[in-house]
């Protein structure tokens, strides 16, 4: 019986993986340039971490998490996002004693959502978290860093920024918003009505067309920020202007996780259709304390690798592929032995090469050389093995040139940078 993979959980096959490697390599370079260091945390954490960290009333915790009991002992969850686990590790290892920390991570996350383009049940995030800095310059640096990451990959998603207030200004606003929404319950969708009670801020995120004109008129938190939040947001905007980062202020930008205060931001692209956010993040100054640590400000983002891959594909960016420089084609057994030796020699010198270990007909070996994208082929038979002279065939132009087998390393060895 054939067994297929789990719905919404994808294989990334070798033909596609070059895209992922490129994304991750560029991200690592950009993070290193900004002083972010990698952290690796488990994909399984206590359920309570997300209930308390992400929020008991969020869709992620109530509907989307994969939750299970470990032999009836502990309630665990597959991580739906990276922030809570990273904060747990930060606290557990007392990282605050080392001063402000900038960490990044790359890995799979799990949410039991309805799969569609750009939305999967296992997806991959590249995320960063900066701990211990309350000042707006870190917000600016982080948003500019993410913009730079995209720029290096040749794309430019739209940057949306907002302030979602803090404990000083948000509670009064939420009450005002809830009252306003209740008065309009009759013209809002069932989801909005339910969220009005459970999580009124999320109503602003509703995508149902008939709710749009109503919600466009909703009271705005941005106009009701306390002095501290207003000054912080103004400084973030000023800093982005200074660095020449283009952005839009989006007063209806709200995030699906409860931990955010002050700065919230998202990068969106039309190439993604309805799941338009390729990255999202913001400030979470109370989270470390909520999860049992010292009061510590924090800010981070998560970027969806699948979504970024879709954007790069839509932009026509080719999938990078590593190909062998040389493919050895053997005409007979003696040739095979010589090809194996020469291939080993080239590989030791750092030159990627390959051969068809099945041997067999020349035409089939050439076919394989084409499939793997080899740049050159060298045919070796008994004659070539004994004379040490062979022909080097350029696979693209089909031109042939004589080559000494003993000169292959010198010909192909990568020049030191
Ligand atoms: P989030 O907005 O829930 O934030 O997710 C961040 C990104 O992950 C999204 O913009 C999207 O690209 C990708 N993503 C989310 N769900 C899916 C899915 N089902 N399929 C494919 N891609 C998806 C967070 O997770 C926060 N932890 C970000 C953060 C870090 N905030 C502060 N620090």
| Same domain? 338 vs 308 | no
pLDDT of residue 393: 97
User: Is 149 domain-assigned?
Assistant: yes
* C-alpha angle 304-308-313 in degrees, rounded to nearest 5: 150
CATH number at residue 64: 3.30.930.10
Q: From ligand 1's centre to the CA of 257, what distance in Å?
A: 10
| Same domain? 230 vs 148 | yes
Q: Closest by alpha carbon to 105, among 182, 42, 38?
A: 38
Region 322-329: what's the mean pLDDT? 96
Q: Characterize 148-186 residue by residue with b for buried, 16 or more Cβ atoms within 10 angstroms of its Cβ, and e for exposed.
A: bbbeebebebebbbbbbbbeebbeebeeebbebbeebee
The pLDDT tens digits for 361-403 are: 999 999 999 999 999 999 999 999 999 999 999 999 999 999 9
- Give yes or no for residue 350 having a pLDDT over 90: yes
User: Is 231 domain-assigned?
Assistant: yes
The residue out of 250, 280, 314 marking a domain boundary is: 314
| Same domain? 149 vs 96 | yes
Q: From ligand 1's centre to the CA of 280, what distance in Å?
A: 6
pLDDT of residue 256: 85
| Same domain? 330 vs 305 | no
pLDDT of residue 230: 98
| Residue bearing the CA closest to ligand 1, atom 20 | 119
pLDDT of residue 247: 98
pLDDT of residue 199: 86
Read off the pTM.
0.94
| Same domain? 237 vs 382 | no
For the chain, percent of residues with pLDDT exceeding 90: 91
| Residue bearing the CA closest to ligand 1, atom 14 | 304
Q: Are 279 and 153 in contact (CB under 8 A)?
A: no
Q: From ligand 1's centre to the CA of 399, what distance in Å?
A: 50
The residue out of 253, 288, 314 marking a domain boundary is: 314
In total, how many domains does the chain have? 2
| Same domain? 295 vs 382 | no
| Same domain? 162 vs 19 | yes
Ligand 1 touching residue 307 (CB < 6 A): yes
Ligand 1 touching residue 335 (CB < 6 A): no
The pLDDT tens digits for 276-323 are: 899 999 999 999 999 999 999 999 999 999 999 999 999 999 999 999
Ligand 1 touching residue 354 (CB < 6 A): no
Q: Which of 39, 118, 304 to mutate to test the pocket of ligand 1 (most atoms within 8 A of CB)?
A: 304
The pLDDT tens digits for 26-58 are: 999 999 999 999 999 999 999 999 999 999 988
pLDDT of residue 385: 95
Half-sphere CA count of 398, side-chain side, radius 13 A:
0
User: Is 195 domain-assigned?
Assistant: no
| Same domain? 128 vs 66 | yes
The pLDDT tens digits for 80-103 are: 999 999 999 999 999 999 999 999
Q: From ligand 1's centre to the CA of 304, what distance in Å?
A: 6
CATH number at residue 346: 3.40.50.800
Phi, psi of 59 (to 5 degrees): -60, -40
pLDDT of residue 202: 87
The residue out of 265, 282, 314 marking a domain boundary is: 314
| Same domain? 251 vs 380 | no
| Same domain? 301 vs 357 | no
pLDDT of residue 72: 87
Average pLDDT, the chain: 95
| C-alpha separations of 359 from 324, 334, 339 in Å | 18, 11, 11
pLDDT of residue 82: 98
Structure tokens at 375: 């740049």
| Same domain? 157 vs 264 | yes
- Give yes or no for residue 275 having a pLDDT over 80: no
User: Residue 25, class by beta-carbon neighbours within 10 Å (0-12 exposed, 13-18 middle, 19+ buried)?
Assistant: exposed
Identify the domain containing residue 135 by its residue range: 14-169+225-314
User: Is 191 domain-assigned?
Assistant: no
Specify the pairing of strand 248-249 against strand 158-163.
Answer: parallel
User: Is 52 domain-assigned?
Assistant: yes
pLDDT category at 122 given cuts 50, 70, 90 is: very high
| Same domain? 307 vs 336 | no
The pLDDT tens digits for 225-270 are: 999 999 999 999 999 999 999 999 999 999 888 899 999 999 999 9
Region 206-215: what's the mean pLDDT? 91
For the chain, percent of residues with pLDDT exceeding 70: 100
Q: Are 28 and 153 in contact (CB under 8 A)?
A: no
- Give yes or no for residue 223 having a pLDDT over 80: yes
């Amino acid at each position: 019986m054939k067994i297929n993979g789990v719905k919404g959980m994808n294989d990334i096959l070798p033909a596609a993986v070059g895209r992922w490697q490129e994304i991750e390599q560029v991200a690592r370079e950009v993070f290193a340039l900004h002083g972010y260091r990698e952290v690796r945390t488990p994909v399984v954490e206590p359920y309570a971490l997300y209930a308390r960290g992400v929020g008991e009333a969020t869709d992620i915790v109530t509907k989307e998490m994969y939750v299970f009991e470990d032999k009836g002992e502990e309630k665990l969850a597959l991580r739906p996002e990276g922030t809570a686990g990273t904060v747990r590790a930060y606290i557990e290892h007392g990282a605050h004693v080392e001063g402000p920390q900038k960490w990044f991570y790359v890995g799979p996350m799990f949410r039991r959502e309805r799969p569609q383009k750009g939305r999967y049940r296992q997806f991959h995030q590249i995320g960063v978290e900066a701990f211990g800095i309350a000042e707006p310059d870190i917000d600016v640096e982080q948003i500019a860093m993410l913009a730079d990451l995209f720029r290096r990959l040749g794309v430019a998603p739209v940057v949306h920024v907002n302030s979602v207030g803090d404990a000083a200004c948000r509670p009064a606003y939420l009450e005002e918003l809830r009252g306003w929404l209740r008065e309009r319950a009759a013209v809002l969708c069932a989801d909005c009505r339910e969220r009005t009670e459970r999580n009124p801020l999320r109503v602003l995120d509703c995508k149902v067309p008939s709710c749009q004109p109503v919600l466009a008129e909703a009271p705005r938190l941005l106009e009701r920020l306390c002095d501290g939040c207003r000054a912080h947001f103004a400084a973030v905007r000023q800093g982005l202007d200074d660095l020449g980062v283009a952005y839009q202020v989006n007063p209806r930008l709200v995030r699906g996780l409860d931990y955010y205060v002050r700065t919230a931001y998202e990068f969106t692209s039309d190439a993604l259709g309805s799941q338009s956010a390729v990255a999202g993040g913001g400030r979470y100054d109370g989270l470390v304390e909520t999860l049992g640590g010292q009061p510590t400000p924090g800010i981070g983002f998560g970027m969806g690798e699948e979504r970024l891959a879709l954007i790069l594909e839509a932009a026509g960016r080719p999938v990078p592929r590593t190909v062998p420089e040389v493919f050895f084609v053997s005409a007979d057994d003696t040739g095979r032995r010589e090809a194996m030796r020469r291939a080993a020699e080239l590989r030791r010198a750092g030159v990627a090469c390959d051969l068809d270990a099945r041997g067999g007909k020349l035409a089939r070996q050439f076919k394989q050389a084409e499939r793997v994208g080899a740049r050159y082929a060298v045919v070796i038979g008994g004659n070539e093995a004994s004379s040490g002279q062979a022909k080097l065939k350029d696979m693209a132009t089909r031109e042939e040139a004589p080559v000494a087998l003993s000169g292959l390393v010198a010909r192909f060895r990568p020049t030191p940078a």
